[in-house]
Structure 1
Amino acid sequence: MKKVLIIIAALCLLASGVWFGLAAASKSTLAAWFEARQADGWLVSHDPIEVKGFPLSLNATIPNLELADPETGWLWSGPAILIDQALLSAGDISVTWPSAHVFATPEARFDIASAQFQSNLQLEPTRNLAVSGAATQLRDLTLQRANDAAWQASLDAATITFTRLQNEDQTYDLNAAIEGLSLPQGLRARLDPAGVMPTIFEQSSLDATLTFDRPWDLEALEQARPQFTAIQIDEASAIWGDMVLRASGAVTVDAQGIAEGDLALRAENWRAMLDMALRARVISQDLYQMLDGGLGLFAQLSGQPENLDIILRFSGGAVFAGPIPIGPAPRLILR
């Protein structure tokens, strides 16, 4: 029995030594990564990193973190970010975002608040931390634009997954389900000035397959984002009151972010959508009249004039609704 106790004590000491060694290595790795970003010209600020979780996990807390990339104009700051890693599974990482944090792009700065903001990542340590899977859960989230009290969006819940296809380094399945999405008050007032529509979108979803010019790995954060080369939408849908919009199709994307391909749309109560686009100044009065006449003819021919089934064609940098040119196509560039 004495020998058994000695062996158990030795194993405990060995396990403790391993954990403390890995904890020190984890803290050192994080600190070195932040120092490398500073050397690249980033703004980096944080309080001392703490690592806990003995004996089965490594739970790193980075207090008062602020990261800003001057090249892209992105900024993130929050009171603390928690990174949890199972000791026996180096590639499985859980990130808990703070209940209140700030995210900024070159266009705007946003305050984010949520009851839950959790991301679970499956990374490949031997391949520059390439993402093989990611899942994010959101609950009771609000997005407030800085210096604009009328601009606030919110959602009740959302689940977003991003999974690399087997045997494909640069192609990923994206699935998103959003419940209780509420648009900013100013935009909602332009779309629905009479206030007859529900305040929230009942449900929105997206199932798509995305191909990029390179994998999503650590380089995507440190240097530049991978860019689209192809997008296949199996199904995208949004329901707002009596308006339902569904889409599917596929496009290729060139190096300038210009799409080529077709997108099939089904719009239920489509004229209400067209009216909203006009009120929101998405389309001009002239284009509204042209679309109303042309699309109305398509809808009449289908036998259901309140619903519209049509193909959006992306070609030569422009978008066409059937034979009707709508305008220039948006450039699909990730900053």
Structure 2
Amino acid sequence: MTDAAQTPPRHSRRGLVVPFAIVGVLLAAWTGWWFWLADQIETRLAVHEQALSEAGWRVSHQPVSVGGWPFRTRVAFPAAEIVAPSGHGVSAPELVAEANAWNPGHWVVIAPDGLTLSRAGKGRIDIGGDGARMSVSHLRDRFPDLRAELIRPTFTPRPDAEPFPIASAEHVQFEMRPHLTDGVAATDELDVLFRLIEARGRPGGPVEGAARSGRLSMEIEATIEQASRLRGVDSAGVFANWTAADGRFTGVRGRLLAGESSARISSDALSARADGRLEGQLALTAERPGEAMAGLAGSRSGAVNRVAAAGAAAAASAQGDRPMELVLRFRDGRTWLGPFALAPAPKLF
């Protein structure tokens, strides 16, 4: 028998090496992309912080850390504080922003250890609960999509702060996105949605009074005109510039539930005075509004005109349990129900 016949054939190992080589090249390319993206994020953060500072904002935090390789980008801001020129702001022991490395235009920001809300001239409120998060996407568009939510939040004013009307809630949600007309984003309009689910008022406050020690829920949606004017560098904040440009809330629709009382609300347009108080009127289709008015009359809030609330309660009670068509007017800085001035008009800034 010949030697050639006795020697087994040799198989090439190239087939085993090639897949590993391809994976190695792809991993090296992806790692390069990830580190380039992380560097870009840090650079853009520095640019945005400088721009905010020049616009009158105060942004501070301890050194930022960037991680999340290989599939995420995670940016941590320890001891973060962001304060607008108006004096309103938020701070947190840590803010964490995350995005998928393949989709850096969609970010989710969480506050794992809670937030502190700063109210200009009114003090600070600590916000606890089961979660605080915000997501923002379409960052390259004129207006991004934004969604913020608080899950079972609690609101605790600091000892030197003014009272806050809500002590806790099951859910708070805010959404903002470009207004669409025939499927196309409008030039200068934004749609906004606000939900407050099963809020409990502070003892003796107007929310507890209106809900008769029950819970308050509301859902309100509207379109903001002149949305590009929502910016400003003075102490009055973004709404002052918007108000001066004749900005309005249009297509206002919503529903309120306060204890046993409920109402559907609508308004074609609402604006704001130079001092930030709302102007305009809301149409309400209310069920059992007398109970909410009576609760307001019995509250210990200095912002509520208890005599006027008692008069409105008596007038509403005369209608029994039948649904009532009512109109709330925001005029002269006050909230009016017929001839009764119930409380100051809501204030934007």
Query: What's the TM-score, normalizing by structure 1?
Result: 0.78
Q: Does 1:115 align with 2:130?
A: yes
RMSD value over aligned CA atoms? 3.5
Larger radius of gyration: 2
Q: Does 1:312 align with 2:324?
A: no
Mapping for residues 65-76 of structure 1, pairs under 5 Å: 65-69=80-84, 71-76=85-90
- Number of positions where the alignment pairs a residue of Structure 1 with one of Structure 2: 316
Q: 2:226 aligns with which of 204, 213, 217?
A: 213
Q: By how many angstroms is 1:40 displaced? A: 5.0
- What percent identity do the matched residue pairs reach? 18
Q: By how many angstroms is 1:272 displaced? A: 2.6
Q: By how many angstroms is 1:331 displaced? A: 6.4
Structure 2 letter corresponding to 1:176:
F
Mapped partners of 1:172, 1:14: distance in 2: 40
* Number of the residue aligned with 1:51: 66
* Number of the residue aligned with 1:101: 115
Q: By how many angstroms is 1:111 displaced? A: 0.8
Residue range with higher mean Cα deviation, 20-29 or 255-264: 255-264
* Number of the residue aligned with 1:63: 78
Contact map agreement 2:114 2:131 (CA 8 A) in 1: no
Q: Does 1:92 align with 2:114?
A: no
> 1:46/1:222 Cα in 2 relative to 1: closer, same or farther (>3 Å)?
farther
Contact map agreement 2:136 2:147 (CA 8 A) in 1: yes
Contact map agreement 1:176 1:207 (CA 8 A) in 2: yes
Structure 2 letter corresponding to 1:173:
D
5+ residue gaps, structure 1:
none
Mapped partners of 1:288, 1:264: distance in 2: 18
* Number of the residue aligned with 1:178: 196
Mapping for residues 1-335 of structure 1, pairs under 5 Å: 1=15, 2-40=17-55, 42-69=57-84, 71-106=85-120, 107-125=122-140, 127=142, 130-131=143-144, 133-147=145-159, 153-166=167-180, 167-187=185-205, 191=209, 197-198=212-213, 200-201=214-215, 204-215=217-228, 224-226=237-239, 227=242, 228-240=247-259, 242-253=260-271, 256=274, 261-280=280-299, 281=302, 282-285=304-307, 287-288=308-309, 291=312, 299=319, 304=320, 307-314=323-330, 321-322=337-338, 324=339, 326=341, 330=345, 333=348, 335=349
Mapped partners of 2:174, 2:189: distance in 1: 16
Mapped partners of 1:35, 1:209: distance in 2: 33
* Number of the residue aligned with 2:8: none
Structure 2 letter corresponding to 1:245:
A
Any idea what the Cα deviations from partners look like across 1:218-261, whole Å, max 9, x if unmatched?
x6799942534123222221231x22233222224266356564
Contact map agreement 2:270 2:281 (CA 8 A) in 1: no
Query: What's the TM-score, normalizing by structure 2?
Result: 0.75
Task: Report SS of the residue matched to 1:164.
Answer: strand
Q: By how many angstroms is 1:18 displaced? A: 1.1
Contact map agreement 2:114 2:132 (CA 8 A) in 1: no
5+ residue gaps, structure 2:
1-14
> 1:158/1:73 Cα in 2 relative to 1: closer, same or farther (>3 Å)?
closer
Structure 1 letter corresponding to 2:126:
D
Contact map agreement 2:309 2:340 (CA 8 A) in 1: no
Mapped partners of 1:16, 1:66: distance in 2: 32
Any idea what the Cα deviations from partners look like across 1:163-205, whole Å, max 9, x if unmatched?
322221433333334333111123179838xxx944x41x613
